[in-house]
Each structure stands twice: as structure tokens, then as C-alpha cells.
Amino acid sequence: MKFTFLFTLLFFNFLYASADITPTPVKVKGIVPRYPVNIQMVSEKVVVDLFKDSSIVTCTFNMKNFGNSKEIEIGFPMMSFYNWRDNTADVKDKFDVWVNGKLINKVNIYIPEELKKDVNEDITAINSRLSLAENENKPWYLWKTKFAKNESVQIIVKYSLPSGVTKLKNYFNYLLSTGAGWKGKIIQADVIVNLKDIPADQLIKISPTGYIKTDKQISWTFKNLEPTTNDDILIDYELVKGGYQKRLAESIANAPTYYVDDLLVDSLSDLDPKTIANVLVLNDVVSRKGIVQIFTKPFVHKKFLEKINALSPEIFSQLAKENEEDLKLNYVLVVNDEITAQSDFWRKISELNKRVILTLEIMMINNKKSIIIKEKS
């Protein structure tokens, strides 16, 4: 467990530093129907007052029901939950909904049970569970709206939330892509971001393209939109002029040296975490920077078979028939009379590759083929 946590921390910290993202983002989505509906979001207007440390957002959605009279439950992600400590009253005050000009007094807060396990745990643990599922595992504001047959309905949502923060920068994110949950296309979507205390020269990145920018405002207009993630709004900015470049330089200077399968690499962006067998964290006494050695399952598997072949060609011919997944599935690994947990299978083999094996045999234990190894102490 310690190994898994340590690797996750190191690996993802590197990725987020180099790729300029964070594992705890503040992403704002539009309204989402909880179940498929025959209702179109005809138009959408999002007006954002963006400050360095927060934003105030007003969304106007014009909806059209193309079916029979229906009452549906509509949801909006409760992004302030990222700072939740079992005090939903303060959070709820920051979120209001109007339907056809009438304030909705009954807005429920849905929090999945798995997120209530321990409100005193640190925010990293909470965010880890928040990332398990895109919608189902997130907390939501939920309210009911009745649509008469062929009725047009206007929904206005207003809320405030803190800015998204990484080690390098701050950002604002609005996900137009969730509008795809409604029927058909969005005929027109307008997004207007008013820069309140952010100078234009402190903007780092703006996406998607096609925006109009002045010193005080950034705006987009979309026509006949079938929204995808390519349409999601992202504005990166720095709090202090030059701060981003300074932090980026420090991040690069302090980054550890990475080796993957004994090869020095500049980036881990192409490395699939699912392929990792083992990670070793060492200290470089010369540079005083960390060294991270990562070994992948294909590499460990190949080296293990080479080692087995040198010890017993007969056993090698048997094990070589198995690919890496089947080897773990079909064999139990027993080292020095201790059964290796399946979750530790590849890590243990990676360690065996660097040690002296005294004896090696294959036998049945509890009706399971087992690789029995004794190594030099």
C-alpha cells in the first residue's frame, strides 16, 4: 500500500507539473438531465465575472420540450464540495436557480455515500474518490422542473466558486460538453468572461480558439453546437506577472531524474500506469535530486524469463508459453516459503530479477500451479 501511494504521488506530481494540470480541478459543468429526455437546450448564455481567486457565474438556458408534459430532475455539479466539511448550508447559499423567473426554494444536495466516509480526512483523499467516476460519484445540486407539452422554459443558474489552482497557475474551466446530454443541437451558445482583476498580459492560455479578446473581456459564440470536450472553455492565468515562468523553471530544475526500464527519459507522458511493475525511489548524492526508476511489466517479464532460462531451460519452456497477464493469472508465486499476493506479483518478480536464485521449481499447491523460488539471503 505504501509503495502504491508513493508511486502515485511521484508519478502524477510529475505529470501534472509537466502537463500543467492538477488532480484536484475545479471544473464547472452546465445543467444535466439525470435521465435521457426529449428536451432541447435551444440556447445557452454564460456570463462569468472572473477574479484572480474566484468567479461569479450566471448561466441562462432556454429549453424546449418536444414531448408530453413531464417533470424531470435536473442536476448541477456541486463544485464547492471540494472544500466540504459537513457544512452544506454555507455552500448552498452560493447557488441559486430560477425557472421562468421564479426562484426554486427546494434545491437538494446529493452526496454519494462513499464521499461521506470521513469528513475529517484530508482533501487529497476526498478528491481521489471524487475522480473515480465522471458523474455518478460526484455530489450534485438537484431540483425538479416541470415541462408542459411543447413548452419553452428558461432556467437561470447563478453561483460562485474558488478558482482552479495548480502548482504553476490558476485557471477557470467551463464544460460546454455536458450540454450533449440534451436532445439535439444547441442552436446558439454564448460565453462571456469579464476579466475583473486579471490584466490581459497575465493570461497564459485560452481555449478553444475562435474567441474575441479585449483587455477586459473574452467571448465565444457557437452556432448549431453539438458540444464535445473540444468546445470546453479553459482560461489559464498567473496571479503575478512572471510568476508562471518562474514556477515552471523551478519545477523543471527540481524535477527528479526518471528511468524507465533502465533508460533515461525526459517525460513520463507516454507511460501507461497500468503497465508499471515496480518503482524505486533513490537519492542522487551528487545532484541531491531524486532518482525514480520505473520498470514495466513487459520488461520485467522478459528479464524474468531470461533469468529462468539460465537456471532451468525446462521450466523456461513451460513459462515462456504464458504472456504476462496469463502468467500472473495462472501461477502463484512463492518466494522463501511465503506466498506473494497477486497485487505484488510483478513487483516481487522485479526484485527477483536483481537477486540470486538458489532453487526453482514448479508444483501444484492447493490445485494451483505455483512457481517456488528460494533466493540467497
Please name the residues in contact with 307: beta carbons below 8 A apart, sequence gap of 6 or more: 352, 353, 357
What is the predicted pLDDT for the residue at 302? 95
What is the predicted pLDDT for the residue at 253? 77
Cα-Cα-Cα-Cα dihedral sign, residues 54, 58, 64, 70? positive
Share above pLDDT 70 across residues of the chain, in percent, rounded to a whole number: 78
CB atoms within 10 A of CB 102: 8
d(CA 262, CA 350): 12
Distances from the Cα of 62 to the Cαs of 40, 153, 354, in angstroms? 9, 6, 65
What is the predicted pLDDT for the residue at 34? 63
- Which residues of the chain fall short of a pLDDT of 70? 1-30, 34-36, 79-93, 112-138, 284-288
Element (H, E) at 356: none
What is the predicted pLDDT for the residue at 208? 96
Q: Is 176 exposed, middle or buried (0-12, 13-18, 19+ CB in 10 A)?
A: buried
What is the predicted pLDDT for the residue at 179? 77
What is the predicted pLDDT for the residue at 335? 94
d(CA 238, CA 146): 43
d(CA 331, CA 307): 17
d(CA 296, CA 299): 5
8 Å CB contact between 52 and 239: yes
What is the predicted pLDDT for the residue at 267? 76
Model pTM?
A: 0.61
d(CA 297, CA 347): 9
What is the predicted pLDDT for the residue at 281? 83
SS3 222: strand
pLDDT tens for each residue of 145-203: 999 999 999 999 998 888 888 888 999 988 888 777 788 899 999 999 999 999 999 99
What is the predicted pLDDT for the residue at 280? 87
8 Å CB contact between 121 and 109: no
What is the predicted pLDDT for the residue at 35? 62
What is the predicted pLDDT for the residue at 132? 43
What is the predicted pLDDT for the residue at 256? 82
Which of 129, 150, 151 lies closest to 139 in space, CA to CA?
129
SS3 358: strand
